[in-house]
Structure 1
């Protein structure tokens, strides 16, 4: 019953006519500050999540997530069969792969790329994006190659042309001296993925790649692992591997992009959080003013039997009310604004036409932002509430 009294008095103090005008101004300022802070955090988080998801779907999907290989970058698949690694957690699919950095030469230009030798054209994500050519032309011994459209433009080649693939770290002896191993390939297709793969990747038959790299029989670069969630590679890479195998993953080639986005997300979140911290300071100030104004009433309540904890609850409820309203309004407006952010930005003229920001609203992030905002507000109410609960009735009622 006594706890209900604390709640009743706490909710009664929430009424604006129980606080002076300056206290009302500070409480409103606290609520507005928390609302703006929550909206900003939700929008920033949604945009950063969108960028991260966009990079994952447009970049990581087309490149090897993980390659299990040896220190020499070559393994014997009979010594390390696929059954040896099938129990690794987080794997969606496993394929053999031959993988190497190569030089490229056309009739008019030179360049570089990453040669990926695959066993079959079936279910190849890159060959599913062909804009010219047929996947079925990927035949062992045909020495056909498929290029990204940007790489083809750089080398000034088109479908049906020939391109020379050079393996710089494998030297062969010829009548004219030592030269890198090389061979002419037929351009059997061009793919377009709208990702970095278009500018640096080329696909050949796995057996053709093995011959180019002079691998012994039954040898490949490694086992290619497709992960269910490529962004969990930090945790998955800590698993114990079979002896002789090492873990290499996409972080070696694209890790800096994702780390940059993650760091930017954290820094932006920290900067925007200062709005909430300022609002929390306003809560402290408004509660101090309320405590000063209600000193006599607090003293009377204590003489009527309310203890320190019950007085503490009264003012904590008062402080939480400022944040709860701000969090509720901010969460609703933050989600709505994130959903329509591209329309708002284009209306304001901040983005050119046909350019949109990737947006991904993670409702768990929204709940996390709301939860920690309320926690910060509760912490902000503790000190002024303790001051209120420590008031001695005799000091304030002696002159009444």
Structure 2
């Protein structure tokens, strides 16, 4: 005799050679439905992970996630709120000097933004790939390195001279006739494949201090990069000092941040929809089995099999279906993810000239599988309750 008996009976109900074709089709479709749901969720989450990783690497690595300054954008370096360094989400902090400027060559004019470069803050500019030209940003010569897109817009070549005109922060200064302006020599370009290529201008710190008429030890503010810029609360960074301004990247890139947030809600809705369909799938499969097996269940009850064990029979049936579907779905998703050619081919049917980036987190896959299994178990409760509420005498009296 097989023990425990309810597992043996549950597995026999799942699949055996005497099952009718209709039951085999129902069971197969149920497993296929769960497999498609699992593989769809895993592939979608992996694509989102890849997109967010590329977004952080190619976009958020070039702009500060948080800027600390004051209303005048002119602050003493000694006023830095040191308690911020205690926060766990901080990756790096660097002081900076910047200002919006008009960039003018012989025939064209555009708006740019100068960023002062310090040798000790080289990590902040590592992604700019300007190591070979950094030596030109010395404190003795008026040299600058500009973005390639800005250079193309103004038809600027290396060693060309450009005029930078500071745009005043306040309306009063803007109405005056005197503007800070100076001639600079372009000694190099940077190309990051990012929007900073169209406006940023790198300049030596000492030259920037003189150009902007900054006093010694005064800066524009501090730039902060976070470990996870996509999920942080700006209120955790604020201090008791009311004169400080805290500007996060979501203010400057509001529409882009909203798009990322909407993407998360869509994925959550998609996840809930797939869970609902999979749960309904299990309910239908079990209900069909129970309607057909109700007489046998009644006979088992008259033979002394308690309701608890009968419940376990159908829990075993639902759980087996879910486990097989989960394993197949996970396997299919892994094959499609690691064989990127297949996935690229499927994506190119809908989108042209798009490159995909995929990143798998084992914990997420484990969590998805666990949630699907739990939903499958919960889905067995209604069919079980429906069949066990009737007594054996009521069921068999109709025979």
TM-score category (smaller protein): 0.7 to 0.9
Deviations 1:368-394 (A, max 9, x none): 222222222222221001112223011
Structure 2 distance, partners of 1:58, 1:199, is 15
CA deviation after TM superposition for structure 1 residue 334, in Å: 0.6
Q: Is the 8 A contact 2:67 2:247 kept in 1?
A: yes
CA distance in 1, matches of 2:158, 2:131: 7
Counterparts of 1:351 and 1:6, CA distance in 2: 48
> Map of 1:194-273 to 2, 5 A cutoff?
194-232=193-231, 234-235=232-233, 238-241=236-239, 243=241, 244-268=243-267, 270-271=269-270
* In the alignment, structure 1 residue 55 sits paired with structure 2 residue 61: no
Deviation at 1:192, TM superposition (A): 1.4
Native 8 Å contact 1:323 1:377 kept in 2: yes
Unaligned segments of structure 2, at least 5 residues: none
| Structure 1 residues 136 and 128, CA gap change in structure 2 (3 angstroms) | farther
- Seen in structure 2, the aligned counterparts of structure 1 residues 379 and 331 have a Cα distance that, compared at 3 Å, is same
Cα gap change, 1:49 to 1:128, in 2 (>3 Å): closer
Q: Normalising to structure 1: TM-score of the pair? A: 0.87
CA distance 1:124–1:397, shift in 2 (3 Å): closer
The whole-number CA distance in structure 1 between the counterparts of 2:278 and 2:126 is: 54
Aligned to 2:26, the other structure's residue is in SS state helix
**Structure 1 position 395 matched with structure 2 position 394:** yes
Contact 1:26–1:282 under 8 Å retained in 2: no
Name whichever of 217-226 and 114-123 sits farther off: 114-123
Report matched runs for 1:112-131 at 5 Å.
112-120=111-119, 123-126=122-125, 129-130=128-129
Structure 1 counterpart of 2:24? 24
Whether the 8 Å CA contact 1:44–1:265 is kept in 2: the answer is no
More divergent stretch after superposition (308-317 vs 284-293):
308-317
The aligned residue for residue 291 of structure 1 is 290
Deviation at 1:264, TM superposition (A): 2.6
Q: Distance in 1 between matches of 2:279 and 2:10?
A: 19
Query: Which residue matches 2:385?
Result: 386
In 1: Cα distance, 2:127 partner to 2:318 partner: 58
Superposed displacement of residue 326, structure 1: 0.9
Post-superposition Cα deviations, 1:10-66, rounded to whole Å, max 9, x if no partner, equal 222222446543333222111111111111122222222211111111111122222
| 8 Å CA contact retained: 2:100, 2:114 | yes
Structure (1/2) with the larger strand percentage: 1
Does residue 4 of structure 2 align to residue 14 of structure 1? no
Within a 5 Å distance, the mapping from 1:1-400 to structure 2 comes to 4-17=4-17, 19-78=19-78, 80-81=79-80, 83=82, 85-120=84-119, 123-126=122-125, 129-130=128-129, 134-140=133-139, 142-169=141-168, 178-232=177-231, 234-235=232-233, 238-241=236-239, 243=241, 244-268=243-267, 270-271=269-270, 274-346=273-345, 350=349, 356-398=355-397
Worse-superposed segment, 268-277 or 52-61: 268-277
My pick for the range that moved more, 328-337 or 243-252, is 243-252
Gaps of at least 5 residues in structure 1 are none
- Deviates further, 10-19 or 367-376: 10-19
Q: CA RMSD in A?
A: 3.2
Residues 290-331 of structure 1, C-alpha deviations (whole Å, 9 max, x = no match): 111111221122223333332222112211222211111101
TM-score where L is the length of structure 2: 0.87
